[in-house]
Amino acid sequence: MKENFKGVPDKSRGIINEQSQESLIENATQNIENIVENKALSHAQNLVAGMEERAAEQMAKAKQITSYATETYKATNDLASKAVAYKGQANQIKSTLAPAKENLSQNSTISTDQAQVSNAQAISDHTIFGVNHLVDLKIVVEGTELKNFRNFQLNQTLKGHHEFVLSLSHDALGEQETYQMEKAQELLGKRILVMINFKNIKEKPERDFVGVITEVSFEQAHGSRGYITLRGYSPTILLDAAPHIQSFGGSSPVPLNTVVNQILEQGYTQGGKYNFVIKSSKNYNLSYTCQYNETHYNFLARMAEAYGEQFYYDGQTLYFGDLPPGEEPIQLVYGRDIENIQVRMMAQHVNRQLYGYNSLNNEKLSAAGDTKLQPKGTLAKAAYQKSEGIFTAPSLQQASLKASTNQDITQAQKGVIGSIGMNVFVTSGVTTVPFLYPGCIVELSMVNSEDKQSNYFTKLMITSVIHGVDTLGNYKGRFEAVDAETGFIPRIGYQNPLVEQQVATVVSNTDPQNKGRVQVRFDWQNSNLNSEFIRVMTPDAGSSDKVGSNRGFMAIPEVGDQVMVGFIGQHPDRPYVMGGLFHGQTGAGGGSGNNVKSISTKSGHTLMFDDSGAITLKDKSDKNFLVIDGTNTISGIAQETISFSNGKSSIIMSGDTIVMQTAKFIVNGSEYVLQTSGAATQLFTAEGNAVQIGGKTLMMATSDSIESKSKEIGVTADNYKLDASAEAVIDGGIVKINS
């Protein structure tokens, strides 16, 4: 019987399970030998006949097949169906040894509708207990199929980029390759599509992987023809190659979905090569956000965490926003599809609290309502509840977003707790099902060792899977999964950018809310970009019971001013103006002694302190001054008018006129008061309490009367004339005339 298996590849051990050797030997009958020989082996011999070099290489391994052909089946009545299955596998060997040359053209994009076609039923329909189907790979690089692969390794995860390594024979590109890599070099940077199927099964399940080739190499050992190795990643790597700085919003709010779309259009889609879906039910509008000195990938991962969104690549499509509905769960059974299973419960610190602040409303922000994770699985729920009691130390952190409302903090806190809390329950294992991918849902059952019946265990979401396929189609996969119904996925590792202080230019100080804020444009922003309106730092700011606003020092920078900008919490979305800066075209001063300090407004009003002399206050005309000269003199100069008033009295100096208006006017000189005009004088002296009036003419006129009273009145003149138009009366005790 062993001779009849000559030429059949030894790697066909997946055809018949290796279990139950003792049982098979005892129950094997001549019937199985006839069935195997007549229905399977004769067909395999026909296939082998006429094969070329590689067929001959495989024939040398055929001697081992007998041991695999006599294993695993418990009952004789199963043998016929298993032999038929073996016949199908023999056909698969044919397709491996002599694959048909066909032109396989693949569209440059995979539609979202395709991604939603479920494999669950097809996998279930073709599951044969004890049989591990061989895997068929179709490998297409931008429309051209690559054949004769040696092995394929694919590492997929929700936490980062997917990685693959594909080894090809030296002639896989149509002609023998050498170290010059004439053909292989053309593959660098190309889109690669790997289609995974069961071999030779109609209505087969299928799972595709789309990636980008980032490394091409040719390896050759002495005496061999060598082989080609292609390495690469998921297309998400296109977003993670170099840091960048850019901003969104500022002049007007921008939806988060729009920001994500712009990011992906910049480096991911490459003209439609790679598929993505952006769909969020939260509908965030961002007043201003900044990608600062970080890759596009890091920025998107940071935004997803900050706003409670999900961000991941499933092998075909990049998702941002809500978790997609997913496919029908794939049924996995430990003991049939899974081996070496491990179930872990791990304590995590899930008692997290975030806070924020809305400066416009002067409002402290915190989460509103319940933000706990709600695992559905029994073990996941138990592990989460235990974690709450294990880590009780408080954890209060500033939210990683510029929050405006308590709801913003709530969503951010849910996201943090969700991405951490889902790790309390993790299941991992080895599988023979090649159709698992990050984000897919599986329902895991466990086989009872006594009655061999499978019992439902839990529903899981695959978070990572490592695929391995050799040249014959033998497949082995290793996976890790978490509770499927939390609504969250493990977060991608990212770094929060720490923003240093930087220079900006004021582009507007017309605050629509009239709160004294300004818009600035950083040096890295083009003419279409700027910040939102941000606060201005000042030495003293606030209010009091007497001053409702602008108590302290208030000076809003002017448009065009260069300012230094800091960032609250070193967060790129939270800038504020620290102060202004002079540059070479605007700065002056210092010099010998550095004596002059000044405050000047944009129109030219200036208060100048000169330590070598005076304090000068002057207006924009540069012609009106108030000077304290430092030598006990204060002087004021006005080109037209100086006016003083207290509401009841006033002094106005206008031109050559001084006008004083008051209800009471008092002039007091401790020694004398002198009034002069030309040669006319009026002198009031304290000594003798005398009043002297001097001048060429003294005129006194009243409408009613003039009354002079004194102990003695003397009038001396060369000529004295007393004239009355009506009556002149001189009255006295004694009246002497010319006596």
For the beta carbon of residue 177, count every other beta carbon within 10 angstroms.
23
Q: Is 491 strand, coil or helix? A: coil
Residue whose C-alpha is closest to residue 447's, from 330, 328, 329, 338: 338
Angle CA(721)–CA(727)–CA(728) in degrees, nearest 5?
Answer: 40
> What's the rounded Cα separation, in Å, for the pair 83 and 79?
6
Q: Is 398 strand, coil or helix? A: strand
Rounded to 10 deg, the angle between the 296-306 and 406-421 helix axes is 110
Q: Which amino acid is residue 396, in one-letter code?
A: L
Inter-residue contact 144 to 98 (CB < 8 Å): no
Give the lowest-confidence range in 212-216, 285-289, 538-542, 691-695: 691-695
What mean pLDDT do residues 310-322 have? Answer: 96
Pairing mode of beta strands 596-600, 575-581: unpaired
Q: What is the DSSP string of 405-440?
A: SHHHHHHHHHHHHHHHHGGGEEEEEEES-TT--TT-
How many residues does the structure list for the chain? 739
- Tell me how many helices (H) and strands (E) the chain has: 12, 38
pLDDT per residue as tens digits for the range 525-565: 998 999 999 999 999 999 999 999 989 999 999 999 999 99
Give the lowest-confidence range in 120-124, 278-282, 438-442: 120-124
pLDDT per residue as tens digits for the range 432-469: 999 999 999 999 998 876 767 778 899 999 999 999 99
- Grade residue 686 by pLDDT with cuts at 50, 70 and 90: confident
> What's the rounded Cα separation, in Å, for the pair 97 and 51?
8
Please, is 226 exposed, middle or buried when counting C-beta atoms within 10 Å of its C-beta (0-12, 13-18, 19+)? middle
Q: Which residues of 542-578 are buried (b: 16+ CB within 10 A; e: fewer)?
A: eeeeeeeeeeeeeeebeeebbbebbbbeebbbbbbbe
Q: What is the pLDDT of residue 164?
A: 98
**Residue scoring higher pLDDT (593 or 60):** 593
Residue whose C-alpha is closest to residue 565's, from 628, 492, 507: 507
Beta bridge partners of 566: 576
Rounded to 10 deg, the angle between the 296-306 and 256-267 helix axes is 160
Q: Is 640 strand, coil or helix? A: coil
Beta bridge partners of 285: 255
Give the lowest-confidence range in 8-17, 116-125, 403-412: 8-17
**Residue scoring higher pLDDT (456 or 115):** 456
Reply yes or no on whether the pLDDT at 203 is more than 80. Answer: no
Helix (H) or strand (E) segment spanning residue 44: helix 42-48
Place of tokens 């060598």: 226
Q: What is the pLDDT of residue 694?
A: 86
> What's the rounded Cα separation, in Å, for the pair 544 and 551?
7
Q: Is 135 strand, coil or helix? A: strand
Strand blocks (E) in 323-453: 330-334, 338-345, 352-358, 363-366, 395-398, 425-431, 441-447
Inter-residue contact 499 to 416 (CB < 8 Å): no
For the record, the structure tokens of 724 come out as 């009355």
The reported pTM is: 0.75
> What's the rounded Cα separation, in Å, for the pair 163 and 236?
10
> What's the rounded Cα separation, in Å, for the pair 467 and 211?
14
Inter-residue contact 485 to 475 (CB < 8 Å): no
Q: What is the pLDDT of residue 302?
A: 95
pLDDT per residue as tens digits for the range 222-253: 667 778 899 999 999 999 999 999 999 999 99
Q: What is the pLDDT of residue 718?
A: 80
Domain boundaries, given as residue ranges, for the chain:
1-98, 241-321, 343-462, 498-544+553-584, 600-635
Residue whose C-alpha is closest to residue 521's, from 510, 511, 508: 508
Q: Is 443 strand, coil or helix? A: strand
pLDDT per residue as tens digits for the range 493-518: 999 998 999 999 999 999 999 999 99
User: What percentage of the chain exceeds 70 in pLDDT?
Assistant: 81
What mean pLDDT do residues 125-130 have? Answer: 70
Among 2.40.50.230, 2.60.120.10, 2.60.40.10, 1.10.600.10, name the CATH number for the domain at 498-544+553-584: 2.40.50.230
Reply yes or no on whether the pLDDT at 470 is more than 70. Answer: yes
Q: Which amino acid is residue 278, in one-letter code?
A: I
Inter-residue contact 158 to 312 (CB < 8 Å): yes
What CATH code would you report for 241-321? 3.55.50.30
> What's the rounded Cα separation, in Å, for the pair 714 and 731?
16
Share of the chain residues as helix, strand and coil, in percent rounded to the nearest 5 = 20, 35, 45
Inter-residue contact 227 to 150 (CB < 8 Å): yes
Q: What is the DSSP string of 531-582?
A: ---B-B--SSEE--SS-SS-EE---PPPTT-EEEEEEGGG-TT-EEEEEEE-
Which residues, at least 6 apart from 675, have a Cβ–Cβ distance to it below 8 Å?
A: 681, 682, 683
Which residues, at least 6 apart from 463, have a Cβ–Cβ distance to it below 8 Å?
A: 157, 158, 159, 438, 480, 481, 482, 489, 490
Place of tokens 């019987």: 1
Q: Is 680 strand, coil or helix? A: strand
Reply yes or no on whether the pLDDT at 729 is more than 80. Answer: no
> What's the rounded Cα separation, in Å, for the pair 658 and 660?
7
Q: What is the pLDDT of residue 410?
A: 92
Beta bridge partners of 191: 212
Pairing mode of beta strands 475-483, 551-552: unpaired
Pairing mode of beta strands 395-398, 352-358: parallel
- Backbone dihedral angles phi then psi of residue 94, each to the nearest 5 degrees: -60, -45
Give the lowest-confidence range in 91-95, 171-175, 271-275, 437-441: 91-95
Give the lowest-confidence range in 269-278, 348-357, 691-700: 691-700
- Backbone dihedral angles phi then psi of residue 217, each to the nearest 5 degrees: -140, 160
> What's the rounded Cα separation, in Å, for the pair 628 and 607?
11
pLDDT per residue as tens digits for the range 699-721: 878 888 877 777 787 778 788 77
The distance of Cα 177 from the centroid of its chain, to the nearest Å, equals: 45
Q: Which residues of 126-154 are buried (b: 16+ CB within 10 A; e: fewer)?
A: eeeebbbbbbbbbbbbbebbbbbbebbeb
